[in-house]
């Protein structure tokens, strides 16, 4: 009697796991909805949910989950395929439609889902045989080369910042600086919105951090931002209400005269080029930097607290 040939199920490719990371990160915008979605997907695997860190960014948490699925693929292959299949079939994104920049968020989500769908179709054989697989995992796993994890995106942003620094056309560099900041804010789950207009004035954007809303203005001038501009921005913030906060970003810093005006009372915090580079180098997280700057402003009234003065 001939022995039955064992069933060998192909490993899920690292690229498919990378596509899952991207899709999980983009199909929800707000962190609470993101956490609820992940909890629902892991309802039969509370041991996985308990190991996830939701105090960090969505991208980092998604990568953490996917790494767990990869490291224990013999145990979680069915779950991985189920998640990939379910997300690849999504055509509605309720949380994204509620956002100010809904069309941008929806475009990114649809692209991520479409990319995942391609990998799901290539792994149809795994989905069909997921109840029968018995193959052993290899001792060492293939290096994931296409997973856009947190560190990789931060490296990309660093190169983008250096590219903008070296551009001869400074007007164009200034225009490209705002989308750069939007990507950076998005990476740290600060829920940024793009530029918008109020009656009589232009706002570069807004972010949300630790229950606080900040209106944001960004400048990359040839010199420092002067006192007049800082005073104008202070007026914009105050017109938003007594509890409004502002974040004024100037790559080339702020004049001494401007800093003196807002040394004992301020409605905004400031961020300059060296601050951004500390974040890009991984010396401090952007959300932590904003929290420490706000703490300093609340305690002293001073708008200026460079990262170089902090114990990093």
- What digits encode the pLDDT tens for the residues 238-257? 988 777 899 999 999 999 99
Which pLDDT score is estimated for 157? 94
Which tops the pLDDT comparison, 292 or 205?
A: 292
Do strands 201-203 and 196-198 pair parallel, antiparallel, or not at all (unpaired)? antiparallel
Judged against a pLDDT cut of 50, whether residue 2 lies above it is answered with: no
Q: What is the mean pLDDT of the chain?
A: 85
Q: How confident is the model at residue 202 (pLDDT cuts 50, 70, 90)?
A: low
Query: Per-residue pLDDT tens for 95-144?
Result: 999 998 899 999 999 999 999 998 888 766 555 544 443 333 343 334 43
Closest listed residue to residue 60, CA positions, set 244, 286, 242: 286
**Structure token pair of residue 82:** 């189920």
Q: Whole-prediction pTM value?
A: 0.73
CB 22 within 8 A of CB 114: no
pLDDT of 130 = 45
- Each residue's pLDDT tens digit, 291-309: 999 999 999 999 999 999 9
pLDDT band at 174 (very low <50, low <70, confident <90, very high): confident
Is residue 28 scored above 80 in pLDDT? yes
What pLDDT was estimated at residue 8? 37
User: 245 forms bridges with which residues in the sheet?
Assistant: 214
The whole-number average pLDDT for the span 60-85 is 92
154 with 172: CB under 8 angstroms? no
Q: What's the pLDDT score for residue 260?
A: 96
pLDDT at position 10: 62
Give the pLDDT confidence of 179-197 residue by residue, as tens digits.
899 999 999 999 988 665 4
Specify the pLDDT at position 135: 38
In 91-188, where does DSSP find H-type helix?
94-97, 102-122, 124-129, 150-166, 170-187
What six digits make up the tokens of 12? 């899920």
Give the C-alpha separation, 106 to 115, whole Å: 14
Residues 6 or more apart whose Cβ sits within 8 Å of residue 201: 236
d(Cα 85, Cα 303) in Å, to the nearest integer?
A: 49
């Amino acid at each position: 009697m001939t022995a039955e040939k064992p069933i060998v199920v192909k490993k899920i490719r690292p690229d498919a796991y990378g596509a899952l990371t991207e899709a999980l990160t983009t199909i929800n915008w707000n962190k609470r909805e993101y956490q609820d979605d992940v909890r629902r997907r892991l309802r039969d695997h509370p041991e996985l949910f308990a190991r996830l860190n939701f105090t960090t960014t969505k991208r980092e948490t998604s990568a953490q989950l996917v790494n767990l699925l990869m490291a224990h693929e013999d145990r979680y292959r069915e779950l991985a395929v189920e998640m990939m299949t379910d997300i690849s079939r999504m055509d509605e994104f309720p949380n994204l439609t509620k956002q100010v920049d809904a069309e941008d968020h929806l475009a990114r989500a649809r692209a991520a889902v479409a990319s995942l769908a391609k990998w799901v179709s290539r792994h149809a054989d795994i989905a069909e045989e997921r109840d029968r697989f018995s193959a052993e995992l290899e001792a060492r796993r293939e290096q994931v080369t296409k997973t856009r994890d947190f560190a990789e995106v931060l490296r990309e942003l660093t190169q983008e910042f250096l590219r903008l620094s070296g551009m001869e056309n400074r007007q164009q560099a200034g225009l490209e600086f705002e989308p750069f900041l939007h990507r950076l804010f998005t990476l740290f789950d600060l829920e940024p919105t793009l530029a918008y207009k109020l009656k009589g004035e232009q706002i570069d954007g807004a972010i949300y951090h630790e229950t606080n809303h900040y209106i944001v203005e960004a400048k990359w001038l040839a010199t420092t931002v002067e006192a007049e501009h800082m005073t104008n921005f202070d007026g914009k913030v105050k017109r938003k209400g007594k509890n409004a906060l502002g974040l004024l970003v100037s790559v080339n810093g702020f004049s001494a005269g401007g800093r003196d005006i807002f040394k004992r009372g301020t409605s905004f915090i400031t961020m300059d080029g060296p601050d951004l580079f500390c974040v890009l180098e991984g010396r401090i997280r952007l959300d932590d930097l904003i929290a420490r700057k706000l703490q300093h402003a609340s305690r002293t009234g001073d708008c200026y607290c460079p990262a170089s003065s902090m114990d990093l």
